[in-house]
């Protein structure tokens, strides 16, 4: 998410987009106006891009613009608010963008070069903990030339910088409405994206209407979208069955996915497509905690976790075991944790602990969020607890909080062990290594590893040919295995299901797995 804690987006903890036609009538069908309703369990934690490194990006992509973006089907960033962008040197240290003409924000203010500079500089000025400031580590300064040219001067080569600019965290905001002293928290948005945020009720709904002044790449196939936020997946499914919503993305349990797949075979009006996703789930260990701060304890946990059982019992095949922080489908993927630990083995785990002088069961508290990743989060942690305690080597206590409180807690270093999800900001191995290391790790706890941050990542960022950096990322993953500061568990699958009257589902998720609401449309009115 998602760099994102995206921010990348589910009860099965999968990256899920389920689109189902509900036959809802347009409010003004005589004019052919397209109005859709989408349900999700993934509500924003903030509406301010300077604080967002999570699933808040889902909404932001639709109401803000970035200089460059990832249209569906693209593998590299393409112009959005910009007319053109390019590196001006051979060392990837100066990136120049020329803006489209006559851009303006929803408050009528001009979206010019100074507004772009203000928007990006504001992220570095605010330095929100857990926010996207860590993504701008290579940025030295921003230069404006006239009203329509911006040059990003980098302190070091960074071939991934255009990818970073394409994330919703780099959304362009109106300077007059966004302070450099605090995060905007009035529930409003001033952007220049495909939609305007007509109204917003936290945890309830967001009303999007077409922005008449929008100039960008998005080809809007509808006129308005209502996003309804649910805390549990069951009410989302119920709303779908009652024709109260047209679509669901992020938040269905494995059982619900399987049920819909079975019903697809029963009748021909539901279509489901499955692909491998790039969103991942993992455990984070707090190095300041007496138990999880001991590398032997972390390695024993790594030796015991049975990912196959986790996927089978909780996710019923709607996810895949993951043995690296870089998932399958992304360049540089390895199976480094399996190579190091092999199959789950209680005797090996016991040997690890005994060699460290640990002879009694280790008491640990595992934390998870109740409303960010969906209804299967609790069953997942129940299974992890069962596996660890079955060995006789651990006593696990489970605790949970809603996302906003949970996020505040891990950013303060309050949890010994906790579960996190990651939705890719962009499809590159850098995005699965860099966010987790350094002083501004998105885990909320510094993870200083100089070999990665000072050697390996700088080497890869000099090369625009991303296929030529696999050796560096393989070494980085080996370091993560040795330290076990994070333990990958599984990666999700993408599911797109649509009814006959809803189109665009196959294009609704961009390469960052962020929902592009403008791709959805009703094929025919009644």
> Of the given ranges (255-269, 412-426, 472-486), which has the lowest mean pLDDT?
255-269
Query: What confidence tens digit (pLDDT) does each residue in 290-318 have?
Result: 999 999 999 999 999 999 999 999 998 88
Q: What is the mean pLDDT of residues 266-290?
A: 79
Give CA separation, 125 vs 117, 144, 198, 205, 349, in Å: 12, 18, 29, 31, 46
Percent of the chain whose predicted confidence (pLDDT) is above 70: 89
**Which pLDDT score is estimated for 251?**
67
> Of the given ranges (21-25, 117-121, 423-427), which has the lowest mean pLDDT?
21-25
- Roughly what angle, to the nearest 10 degrees, separates helices 295-304 and 346-355? 170
Backbone φ/ψ region at 372: left (φ over 0), alpha (ψ -120 to 50), beta: alpha
Bigger pLDDT: 83 vs 254: 83
> Of the given ranges (82-91, 419-428, 485-494), which has the lowest mean pLDDT?
419-428
Bigger pLDDT: 490 vs 272: 490
Question: pTM for the whole thing?
Answer: 0.74
Q: What is the mean pLDDT of residues 517-523?
A: 90
**Which pLDDT score is estimated for 57?**
93
Handedness of CA 63, 72, 78, 168 (dihedral sign): positive
> Of the given ranges (119-133, 279-293, 377-391, 414-428), which has the lowest mean pLDDT?
414-428
Query: What confidence tens digit (pLDDT) does each residue in 489-519 have?
Result: 999 887 765 666 888 877 887 777 788 999 9
**Which pLDDT score is estimated for 29?**
38
Q: What is the mean pLDDT of residues 395-411?
A: 95
**Which pLDDT score is estimated for 266?**
59
**Which pLDDT score is estimated for 526?**
42
**Which pLDDT score is estimated for 73?**
72
Is the bond preceding 2 in cis, omega lying within 30 degrees of 0? yes
**Which pLDDT score is estimated for 497?**
58
The Cα 250–Cα 265 span in angstroms is 22
* Contact predicate 58/40, CB 8 Å: yes
**Which pLDDT score is estimated for 269?**
59
The Cα 476–Cα 405 span in angstroms is 32
> Of the given ranges (148-157, 259-268, 377-386, 392-401), which has the lowest mean pLDDT?
259-268
Q: How far apart are the first and last CA of the chain?
A: 38
Give CA separation, 211 vs 106, 184, 198, in Å: 8, 21, 10
- Banded pLDDT at 463 (limits 50, 70, 90): confident
Handedness of CA 92, 215, 19, 496 (dihedral sign): negative
- Please check the confidence at residue 14 and state whether its pLDDT lies above 50: no
- Give the angle 164-166-171 at the CA atoms, nearest 5°: 100
- Banded pLDDT at 285 (limits 50, 70, 90): very high
- Please check the confidence at residue 401 and state whether its pLDDT lies above 60: yes
Percent of the chain whose predicted confidence (pLDDT) is above 90: 66
**Which pLDDT score is estimated for 9?**
37
- Please check the confidence at residue 25 and state whether its pLDDT lies above 60: no
- Please check the confidence at residue 83 and state whether its pLDDT lies above 80: yes
> Of the given ranges (61-75, 252-266, 458-472), which has the lowest mean pLDDT?
252-266
**Which pLDDT score is estimated for 348?**
98
- Banded pLDDT at 30 (limits 50, 70, 90): very low
- Banded pLDDT at 451 (limits 50, 70, 90): very high
The Cα 415–Cα 76 span in angstroms is 37
**Which pLDDT score is estimated for 245?**
85
The Cα 279–Cα 266 span in angstroms is 30
| CA dihedral of residues 248, 240, 48, 447 (deg, nearest 10) | -50
Query: What confidence tens digit (pLDDT) does each residue in 211-239 have?
Result: 999 999 999 999 999 999 998 888 887 78
The Cα 274–Cα 319 span in angstroms is 11
> Of the given ranges (252-266, 342-356, 425-439), which has the lowest mean pLDDT?
252-266
380 SS3 class? helix
Instruction: Show the 3-state SS of 482-510.
Output: HHCCEEEEEEEEEEEEEECCEECHHHCEC
Pairing relation of β-strands 205-210 and 195-201? antiparallel
Average pLDDT, the chain: 88
- Phi first, then psi, for residue 453 (nearest 5°) are -75, -30
**DSSP element (H, E) containing 385:** helix 377-390
Q: What is the mean pLDDT of residues 12-25?
A: 37
The Cα 266–Cα 258 span in angstroms is 13
* Contact predicate 325/476, CB 8 Å: no
Burial of residue 89 (number of CB atoms within 10 Å: 0-12, 13-18, 19+): exposed
């Amino acid at each position: 998410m998602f760099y994102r804690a995206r921010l990348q987006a589910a009860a099965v903890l999968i990256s899920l987009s389920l689109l189902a036609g509900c036959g809802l009538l347009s409010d003004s069908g005589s004019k052919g106006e397209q109005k859709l309703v989408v349900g999700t369990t993934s509500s924003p934690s903030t509406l301010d891009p300077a604080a967002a490194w999570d699933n808040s990006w889902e909404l932001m992509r639709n109401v803000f613009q970035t200089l460059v973006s990832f249209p569906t089907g693209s593998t590299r960033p393409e112009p959005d608010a910009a007319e053109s962008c390019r590196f001006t040197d051979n060392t990837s240290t100066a990136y120049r963008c020329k803006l489209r003409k006559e851009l303006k924000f929803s408050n009528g203010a001009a979206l010019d070069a100074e507004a772009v500079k203000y928007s990006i500089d504001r992220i570095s000025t605010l330095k929100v903990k857990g926010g996207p400031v860590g993504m701008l580590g290579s940025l030295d300064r921003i230069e404006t030339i006239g009203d329509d040219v911006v040059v990003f001067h980098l302190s070091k080569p960074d071939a991934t910088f255009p990818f970073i600019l394409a994330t919703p965290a780099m959304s362009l905001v109106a300077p007059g409405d966004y302070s450099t002293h605090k995060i905007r928290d009035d529930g409003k948005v001033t952007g220049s994206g495909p939609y305007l945020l007509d109204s917003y009720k936290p945890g309830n709904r967001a009303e999007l209407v077409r922005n008449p002044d929008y100039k960008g790449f998005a080809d809007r196939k509808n006129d308005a979208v209502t996003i309804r936020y649910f805390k549990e997946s069951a009410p989302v499914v119920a709303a779908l069955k009652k024709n109260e919503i047209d679509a669901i993305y992020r938040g269905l349990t494995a059982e619900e996915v399987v049920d819909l797949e079975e019903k697809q075979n029963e009748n021909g009006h539901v279509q489901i497509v499955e692909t491998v996703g790039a969103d991942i789930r993992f455990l984070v260990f707090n190095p300041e905690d007496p138990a999880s701060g001991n590398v032997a304890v972390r390695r024993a946990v790594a030796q015991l976790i049975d990912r196959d059982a986790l996927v089978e019992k909780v996710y019923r095949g709607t996810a895949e075991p993951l043995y690296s922080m870089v998932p399958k489908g992304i360049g540089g993927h390895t199976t480094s944790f399996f190579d190091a630990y092999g199959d789950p083995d209680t005797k090996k785990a016991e040997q690890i602990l005994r060699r460290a002088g640990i002879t009694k069961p280790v008491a640990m508290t595992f934390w998870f969020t109740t409303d960010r990743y969906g209804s299967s989060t609790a069953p997942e942690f129940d299974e992890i607890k069962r596996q660890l305690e079955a060995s006789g080597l651990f006593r696990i206590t489970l605790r949970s909080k809603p996302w906003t409180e949970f996020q505040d807690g891990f950013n303060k270093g309050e949890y010994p062990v906790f579960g996190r999800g990651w939705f890719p900001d962009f499809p590159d191995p850098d995005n699965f290594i860099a966010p987790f290391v350094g002083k501004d790790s998105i885990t909320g706890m510094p993870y200083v590893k100089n070999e990665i941050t000072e050697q390996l990542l700088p080497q890869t960022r000099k090369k625009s040919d991303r296929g030529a950096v696999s050796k560096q990322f393989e070494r980085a993953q080996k370091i993560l295995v040795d330290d076990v500061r994070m333990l990958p568990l599984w990666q999700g699958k993408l599911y797109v299901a649509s009814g006959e009257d809803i189109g665009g589902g196959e294009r609704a998720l961009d390469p960052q797995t962020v929902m592009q609401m403008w791709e959805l449309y009703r094929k025919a009115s009644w």
